A = this chain, B = another copy of it.
Amino acid sequence: MPPYTLTYFAVRGRCGALKIMLADNGQHLKENLVTFDDWMKGDLKAGCVFGQLPKFQDGDLVLFQSNTMLRHLGRKHGAYGKNDSEASLIDMMNDGVEDLRLKYIKLIYQEYETGKEAFIKDLPNHLKPFEAVLAKNKSGFLVGDQISFADYNLFDLLLNLKVLSPTSLDSLPALKSFVDKTAARPKVKALLECDDFKKLPINGNGKQ
């Protein structure tokens, strides 16, 4: 029985990054997919610390908050830097990814029709910090010389942004290279090409 269980809706949403990280590390994930009808009954929600999914179980440890799950798996699978300074820089980069993810989520769920054009126009300004960090750190990762949970998180977000705006990375060579190289990692490639992953909509409202 796999040690890791994820309870979430049948979307990529806030769990794309952790699925990619687990696949890349050859880890199995048992998934409990929750329908909207199940969720509206309320029992499951009442059992969630902050009333929200996803929920992640690692043996007896039960976690909520998707970034907590990324950090937990980062610790367990050597994806949190090789020392405390790298860990802090990875935290900083992940927090930056999360800030942009929040803007993306707000667009998707609250203002897609009215806000899409402005979001796409403003997107290069939000991508520039990551382009600069990747261009400076020749390893091809955000921090140090090995992949971290922040890389998986950025990669997942960039995949979503490319669907929203296919040309968004064209003038950002380090980011484009980052996406290509991460997608070419054999186990990541296998996940991205598998039906289970491909069939999941990115977001819960069908917009992308």
Q: What is A's interface to B at a CB cutoff of 8 Å?
A: 49-51, 61, 63-65, 67-68, 71-72, 75-76, 84-85, 87-89, 91-92, 95-96, 99, 102, 129, 132-133
Contact = CB atoms under 8 A, between A and B. Distances in A.
A86 to B, nearest CB: 10
Contacts of A71: 87-88, 91
Per assembly, the copies of the chain total 2
Contact of A63 (B49, B89, B129, B132): B89
A contacts with B: majority SS: helix
Contact of A99 (B50, B63, B89, B99): B50
Contacts of A85: 61
A129 B49 contact: yes
A151 to B, nearest CB: 16
Contacts of A67: 91, 95
A71 B70 CA distance: 15
B75 A92 contact: no
Contacts of A132: 49
Task: Name, among A50, A75, A87, A132, the residue most crowded by chain B CB atoms within 10 Å (CB to CB).
Answer: A50
27 contacts: A49-B92, A49-B96, A49-B129, A49-B133, A50-B96, A50-B99, A50-B129, A51-B129, A61-B89, A63-B88, A63-B89, A64-B92, A64-B96, A65-B91, A65-B95, A65-B96, A67-B91, A68-B88, A68-B91, A68-B92, A71-B87, A71-B88, A71-B91, A72-B84, A72-B91, A75-B84, A76-B84
A192 to B, nearest CB: 27
